[in-house]
Chains A and B, each alone.
Chain A
Amino acid sequence: MNRTSKIIAKDPGSRSRRSRRSGRTVKNGRTVREDIRLIRRGIREFDKILPGQMRHVLLKSILGACIPLTAVFASAWILNELAQGQRKERLFWLCLFAVGGTFLLSVLKYIQDAKAAVGFSCLFSAHEIFLTQKTHRLPFEVLEMPETDRLREQVSGSISVSGAGMASLYWDMEVVIAGLCRTVAAILLGAGFFRAFFGAPGTAAQGGNSIRLLFPVLCLLTGACVYISCKMAGKHFDISFEVFKRGAEYNRFGEFYTMNYLPDENAAMDARIFSQEGIILRESQEKCYRRFAQGKRHEIRAGNRFDGIRLLSACLCGVFVYALVGWMALSGRIAAGEIVAAYAAVTMLISALSELAQIITDLRNNNEHLLNFFRFMDLPEDEEHLERCLSEKNSGKLQTEEHSGIGPAEAGSGIRLEHVSFRYPGCESWALNDICLEVRAGKKLALVGENGSGKTTLVKLLCRLYRPTQGRILLDGADIWTLPQEEYRRRLAAVFQDFSLFAFSIAENVAASDSYDGEKVQRALREAGLLAKTERLPQGISQPLFHHFSEGGCDLSGGEAQKLAIARAVYRDAKIMILDEPTAALDPFAEAEIYENFGAMSEGKTAFLVSHRLSSCRSCDRVAVFTAGRLVQLGSHEELLEQAGREYLRLWEAQAQYYV
């Protein structure tokens, strides 16, 4: 694994040097050995996505390759027997072998088919879930980078759009195995025919030399045919791949419209009122579909050319073989029965070898997709996540830990920010600049400021989602980044403006676990003001939400969803509570209710509240005012109002004038 990741790392730089060294074997800037290494890693990763699947595929393709072979072998033998011996008993057994062998092999293959099909039915979803699980393990700042998102979409796109990447690896392996089997079989099948060239001395007496000379011709022709096949197939694949690669780019646009924008209820209102039809049709056609069509045209026309040459060369080679074999049979060098077998052997050899060559081209091209996959899998991870997942296997553990974990944090001095600065990766300006702030345990702080002044960033820093670029955040005197992540997060309950609910049961949403404490869930719901609603539901707290996952789920209004998110924070029973604009979309009553509950819920807890509604600041002990990443004012609401000409007063007056 390490070695492959090194390859990935140095891939672009070393390309030119390597290609100069050995021009022919390098493809897409990789040598054969590197490609093989990537494929091997791909197979290992595939085994993680669908354990055991590759084995079924192996067996299936070996069996699949053997089935037509028995038939070909048997019919060749039968013909031979008919032409020469005509022993009835022998014919009987040969027939039995032909049909019985096929039958047995088929049954074996169908068993593997069934197993493989079961696995395959999950492949695409399992692949997506595998990727999503990886995103769960990413550090938050990596998750938020647009590059990550794009990489993820590329990886997803390559499998879902044209079955490249892992799916291609899967299919290709099947073909590789089959191709190998067929090559071996072709040589076995043609053994009699090939021997005829150098045949027994007795027959060689009749002009044996000219026959011997024909053998190299046959070999040359077969070789040429295979070579043309490979070359043409390779070219065709390269073009398809090129077209595909560009297609993934266009597909983003197409998918945006078909999957996101057009089916969206809210977007549909805009689309109608603003008559966006023209622009949407134009954009999707121009940026996606027309290019798809052009790419396809290019690909198919190229296919006509390359496949045409391939087909012609194979046909002509076959005719030559027939003529040759026929002539050899005429002159008695081989038995009549060998004619069919010889022809079958040569054509099979050609097709198997060119198939192999094609599939190798495809596999090597596919490595581009695999590389994306590996790049995504190689993104850094939260180290502790792994350990936790491992310990999670025995599920009871979490609960006990959760209870015991709260203990030691209680007696403390609160949260202190020491010269905290933060800059988003790739950004010049500071999102937060030299913030010093202390919030004593049990006190409440309101964070206000204009859009983009750094409030939400600060919240993310507090949640340990970002690491401060400079300075540090202390909890009870200890840098939060030195605490075990789980432990720190367990002391923290946050409700974000853009919280997410999952289509699982209400209780699972509240407890973030399937082994929850029912009473505690109910308590949390009561505190958040949602118990009345849940009690009216037929399944109570185990009622699923929405309709995506389970049937008969319930829908929530904006206010109810917000309350559910708050209940989640309450359930956690943490000492630090963070609310980031929890009421932007709520009506005054719901808003008032939530702030009201906020008072009760955060009683005795350290709390941070971000809000544009300055009215909520009055319920906090202190208010921190941010402008452009700096902390400009700090004090109680009343104190700040007295500071004439400052930011807080400006904000307050802008809003309060309408209510006085």
Chain B
Amino acid sequence: MVTATSPAFKQNARRAIGDASLQKALANSRPQFMARRARAVAALPEFEQLREIARDIKDHTLAHLDFYLEEWESKVLASGGNVHWCHDADEARAAVLAICRAANARTVTKGKSMVSEELGINEHLEQHGIQPIETDLGEYIIQLRHEPPSHIIAPAFHLNRDDWEREFRKAHTDLPADRVFAERRDILTEARAKLRQRFIAADVGITGANFLVAETGSSVIVTNEGNGDLTQTLPRVHIVVATIEKIVPTIEDALSLLRVLARSATGQEFSVYTTFSTGPRRAADLDGPADYHVVVVDNGRSAMLGSEFQPMLRCIRCAACMNHCPVYGAIGGHAYGWVYPGPMGAVLTPSLIGVDKAGNLPNASTFCGKCESVCPVKIPLPALMRHWREREFERHLEPAATRRGLALWGWFARRPALYRLVTRAGAAVLGRLGGKRGRLRRLPFAGGWTVGRDLPAPEGDTFFARYDRIGRARSGRPDDGEGAANRGRAQ
């Protein structure tokens, strides 16, 4: 499995905030993603209803996951394909390697697959003398740079144009050193030519799957570049790597999910290529792979079923949550330290690598709720992060300072008169310090909190004091809650 730097989340985040190049890339890309999704949603009046349908399809499937997996397997076998069931990453890597070896593979082209990142397929193939070649443009450059993706649908989210040019000059040494990249298109054209040769030479193509369809035994991939289709069409052998929760019952179910997927992800109405693959090349076909394999992997998913984290298995990997997350927007994807960043990663990563390693991630949230509001399958991401915080507390995993702070707060909270006295004093002092701006640039003993942001200062008053005033005013005029609240504020 990929080494996680999630335990060092705080150091990662600090470094990311100081990384000018990363900050430039984030500032450029995030608003575009958000604006595109908003436009696509506005153009489809039924979008909210479709989110509910999407959620219900996934819930129905998860409740009958064993049945649909077995149905799907029988259809794959009937169409001449092979299914390899794998309990964990080790089994999955071994299965992929065995298929590649049986095909005498030297090079393997790959479509973008987050599961492949999670399982560490590339490293495993390289260790055994087989060269994996990432063909998604974003994956291609990060493979050249030997770094992991920083975003689940835009792997090179953290890079700027000059990074691309520099990397291409370093990697493509057979091309003239003085060539000019006048436009972004020139970068794309060079990658296209380089990868075209790879597509043709590859012995095996590995893709992920956005969906597996039980009704037909199909795997579905969604791409814009066409790299996934070249990967699964040209080589002799096609391997699909997918986790168990990718199953949907029927084509109609897949179509309903596809209606929300692209709109939530890139803001397109539909991706350029949505492809259903079912088994190997048929008798009279002129193209397509001679062998079709699906490596279907659990790797921690079944342990989430029946737990409070089951809704996370609805995820269709659109990335809307991270595109709209203020925390992701401040630190980018690498700081999260493992394969899945942003809010979905903050929930999924502790499930897959342990809350002892990834406990910082569900804490890195303002609970603003934006992620849940844009999720196409309505995953209650903030609530799930809160569950992780509870588990972390139960297992005594947070730093001693946090526990001491909570214990101190608990001591005061159990002594209401004292609590009110202390909070009133605190609010008054901080309110005055906040001044006209209403913000604090520095806090004594909490420099870590204010080093990257300001603290909104209290208005000089406590909640209790205000509640009391409103209550008094209300008891005077019981029907006029709103007016009473306003009067309370004016006092």
Mutual binders A and B:
no
Q: Which residues of B contact A (CB under 8 A)?
A: none
A residues at B contact (CB < 8 Å)? none
